[in-house]
Chains A and B, each alone.
Chain A
Amino acid sequence: MTSTIDVHAAAQTFLAHTEAHLVSYLEACVHCGLCAEACHFYQASGNPEHTPAYKLFPIAQAYRRQKFPLAWLGLAPRIDADDLKHWETLLFDTCTLCGRCTTACPMGIDIASIVTGARRAFVAAGLGPADLLAAADSSREHGSPLGLTAQKLRERIEWLADEHGVPIALDKAKADVLLTVSSVEMMKYPESVVAMAKLLNHAGVDWTFSSKGYEATNFGYLSGKSDIAKLMVERIVDAAQSVGARTVVVPECGHAFGVLRWTAANMLGRPLPFAVLHISEFLAQLKRAGKLELTPLKESITYHDPCQISRRGGAARDARYLLEDFAEDFREMTPTGNLNWCCGGGGGVQAIARAADLRYKVFKIKMDQVEQTGAQTMVSSCSNCRLTMDESKAHWKWEGGLASLVELVADHLVEETKPAV
């Protein structure tokens, strides 16, 4: 088994991507261990191996052996296939790329960016969790990790539009806004798709889905398969260009937003020909423009900041702006915003079956946080967080409510005041 692991390929793949900032991050770690304090996996398991700095060890060693100015001395230990096998679990199952560790790091090291590079290296070596890699392959083959082909997209959109009596635009020849979808929503939370359509129609937005490029999630990126990561981005770019969209809206999915908004241009090597907005940012824009009139939300809620939207995405304020004057009993968790605890399933971890027990443990942190607020419902703007939380909730038979921000807003729309265009 271990003989199929190509250690050399791992090192070469990682080192091929070593830009100055990654290298300085690798060289600067002082092994203080503070990142463990910030990591939900370490906090939930108490396992020292879950310390973020430790997860970088094989990559740091590969770098020290080959590229470090003193590499010729041969002092750095050699990494072997068994090491890589061992670290595969740490790099894929126990990191959601949430970036919380960076907030604690006295050197300000962006550990998540190194983990992303490390995953690419591990995949090049022939490693990586089979189910996560299969989700990436399915994206390439079928257009989506959950097998949402263009044909299925069409069928489901037809069914949803019919069932809910809401027009859902697909393959319009021209549109200002290209809306994308997370297949998690389309397959498991289809009301979320209806809610987006309802809101965009209501605000008079000229929008469409496109069967050329619809999948917002990027399992190529999360699994370390760069070719698939790029392909997924290209599909959306093609779709946006063919409808002439100036804005691409990413649905409730944190990583989809993070990848398309902050990484995609760097993958392509050129700026994207459109603006990228997360649906919560887009709705906040509509609200600012006076295009969202809502009836008050009475039940007590708290908001779970998806890591890639708030901490690493810079959109924490927009979600709160949407809730302002709408959610009458809004309670913040402690900590919240940029320091929020992760759901436990981001960064592809949700797709890794063997990580389920660990995810459940992590969710206990969340449960405690919500219970401390006394809020009835935890609202999120990420369907991946929602799926992780739904599964963990079922595991613990937890009674707290879970909801989607977009669905809540759509459910409280004052429809008669602003007819759809």
Chain B
Amino acid sequence: MNLLAFARGPALTVALAVFVFGVAWRLLSLLLLPWARDLAVARATAPPALVGAVKGFVRHLWPPRPLARGALIVTVNGYVFHLGLAVIVFGLAQHILFLRGLFGVHWPNLPSGVISAVAVVTLASLFVALGRRLTNPVLKLISTSNDYFSWFVTMLPVATGLIAVSHLWAPYETLLAVHMLSVSLLLVWLPFGKLMHAFLVFLTRAETGIVYSRRGAEI
């Protein structure tokens, strides 16, 4: 079995399995914890919990105006690489083919030139994030190996993907294999490190939204 066959075959299968079971395990171990019922009587004007949850999610999409100036670079940069990653994952023809194989659904792709440009911007944005983490005194203090490793496994598929489509340095098959292995690494790590926030964000924003909407507060 050559490297590409390994990357496409057993490596990816195992990675996907770890990803699915890991995420399920993390979410279940969280959701099966006791949920304390809030016994404080909600305000008469409080919306239903679902509305509070949605409001909580929407409110935290962007920092409130008085804070937005200080938070602007981090927020905009955060959006750039998150959206960039989404465009790359769901816009490139090869990715859509791959996802079609997994889920059976497909959609129109974006031109590969556009994806490459987005990937370059995304990569640059990820390096801006890393640069801030390494230099800003607050971020330096609160960053752990989890943050740096999570950054690394996120950056790697973007970089290896760009190199693969550029046919640089090595045969395409090898580059593709390396790219796919980097994706496997990302999938395996995601449930266990901070990248799990991709799922937890829905939970935490909703929880806060519910707690404070019961109080008639907007936080």
Q: Mark B111-138, 1 if CB is under 8 A from A, else 0.
A: 0000000000000000000000000111
Contact of A20 among B30, B137, B196 (CB under 8 A): B30
Binds B, one of A148-156, A259-267, A354-362, A382-390: A259-267
Q: Are A269 and B67 in contact (CB-based, < 8 A)? A: no
Contact of B219 among A30, A102, A261 (CB under 8 A): A102
Interface size class, chain B: 35 or more
Question: A130 in the interface, Cβ–Cβ < 8 Å?
Answer: no
Indicate whether A270 reaches chain B with its CB closer than 8 angstroms. Answer: yes
* A262 and B40 contact, CB distance less than 8 A: yes
User: A33 contacts B74, CB within 8 Å?
Assistant: yes
Cβ contacts under 8 Å, B140 to chain A: 48
**Is residue B170 within 8 Å, beta carbon to beta carbon, of the partner chain?**
no
Instruction: Provide the A62-103 mask, 1 if CB < 8 A to any CB of B, else 0.
Output: 000000011000000000000000000000000000010011
Q: Kindly specify which of B7-15, B178-186, B208-216 makes contact with the partner chain.
A: B208-216
Interchain CA distance A106-B60 in the complex, whole Å: 5
Could you tell me the distance in whole angstroms from the C-beta of B54 to the nearest C-beta in chain A?
12
Q: Report chain A residues within 8 Å CB of B196.
A: 27-28
A54 to B136 alpha-carbon distance, docked (Å):
14
**Closest chain A residue to B31 by CB distance?**
A20
Pairwise interchain contact B64-A103, C-beta atoms closer than 8 A: yes
| Contact residue among B201, B216, B218 (Cβ-Cβ distance under 8 Å from A28) | B201
Complex Cα distance, B64 from A53, in Å, reads 18
Q: Taking the nearest CB of chain A, how far is it from the CB of B143, in angstroms? A: 6
Q: Mark A298-337, 1 if CB is under 8 A from B, else 0.
A: 0000000000001111111000000000000000001100
Whether the pair A27, B141 counts as a contact (CB closer than 8 A) is: no
Also in contact, A51 and B67, with CB within 8 A (given A108-B208, A270-B39): no
Bound form: Cα–Cα A269–B40 in Å:
10
Q: A106-B60, A264-B40 are in contact. Are A312 and B71 (CB under 8 A)?
A: no
Contacts of B38 in A (CB 8 A): 266
The residue that B40 contacts in the complex, of A31, A38, A99, A263, with Cβ under 8 A, is A263
Instruction: Answer whether residue A421 sits at the interface, using C-beta atoms and an 8 A cutoff.
Output: no
For residue A21, which residues in chain B have a CB less than 8 angstroms away from its CB?
35-36, 204, 207, 211
Question: Closest CB of chain A to B128's CB: distance in Å?
Answer: 13
List A contacts of B33 (CB < 8 A): 18-20, 23
CB of A275 closer than 8 Å to a CB of B: yes
A411 at the interface (CB under 8 A from B): no
- Which of B64, B66, B136, B219 is the one whose CB lies under 8 Å from A312? B219
Q: How far is the CA of A42 from the CA of B25 in the complex (A)?
A: 37
Known: A19-B36, A104-B63, A339-B64. A314 touches B216 (CB 8 A): yes
Q: Which residue of B lies closest to A25 (CB)?
A: B204
| Least Cβ–Cβ distance between B138 and chain A, in angstroms | 4
Do the beta carbons of A338 and B56 come within 8 Å of each other? no
Given A31-B142, A34-B71, A265-B40 contact (CB < 8 Å):
yes
Q: Which residues of A contact B203 (CB under 8 A)?
A: 24, 28
**Of residues B36, B66, B147, which shows the largest number of chain A Cβ atoms within 10 Å of its Cβ?**
B66
Nearest CB in chain B: distance from A226 CB, A: 14
Choice from B147, B208, B215, B218 contacting A262 with Cβ under 8 Å = B215
Rounded to whole angstroms, the CA-CA distance of A20 and B216 in the bound complex is: 22
Report the minimum CB–CB distance from B72 to chain A (whole Å): 10
Judge whether A51 and B71 touch: CB under 8 Å.
no
Contact of A271 among B35, B39, B136 (CB under 8 A): B39
Q: Please report the C-alpha to C-alpha distance between residue A271 and residue B144 in the assembled complex, in whole angstroms.
A: 42
* Inter-subunit contact A110/B194 (CB<8 Å): no
Q: List the B side residues contacting A104 at CB < 8 Å.
A: 63-64, 67, 71
B1 within 8 A of A: no
List the B residue with the shortest CB-CB distance to A266. Answer: B39
Give chain B nearest CB distance to A34 CB in angstroms. Answer: 5
Interface assignment of B95: CB less than 8 Å from any CB of chain A: no
Query: What are the residues of chain B within 8 A of A42 when measuring CB–CB?
Result: 138
Return chain A residues, CB-CB under 8 Å to B78. 32, 106
- Contact in complex: A31, B147 (CB < 8 Å): yes
Complex CA gap A71/B81 in Å reads 31
Cβ-based interface call for B29 (8 A): yes
Smallest CB separation, A140 vs chain B (Å): 23
8 further interface pairs, Cβ-Cβ under 8 Å (given A34-B63, A53-B142, A107-B197): A20-B31, A24-B30, A36-B138, A37-B71, A51-B138, A312-B217, A314-B215, A338-B219
Q: Which 9 A-B pairs have the closest CB atoms?
A: A314-B216, A335-B66, A108-B205, A265-B39, A314-B217, A28-B200, A314-B215, A37-B70, A20-B33
A-side residues, CB < 8 A to B, are 18-21, 23-25, 27-34, 36-38, 42, 48-49, 51, 53-54, 57, 69-70, 99, 102-110, 261-266, 268-272, 275, 310-316, 334-335, 338-339
Residues of B within 8 A of A (CB): 25-26, 29-31, 33-36, 38-41, 43, 56-57, 59-60, 63-67, 70-71, 74-75, 78, 136-144, 147, 192, 194, 196-197, 200-201, 203-205, 207-209, 211-212, 215-219
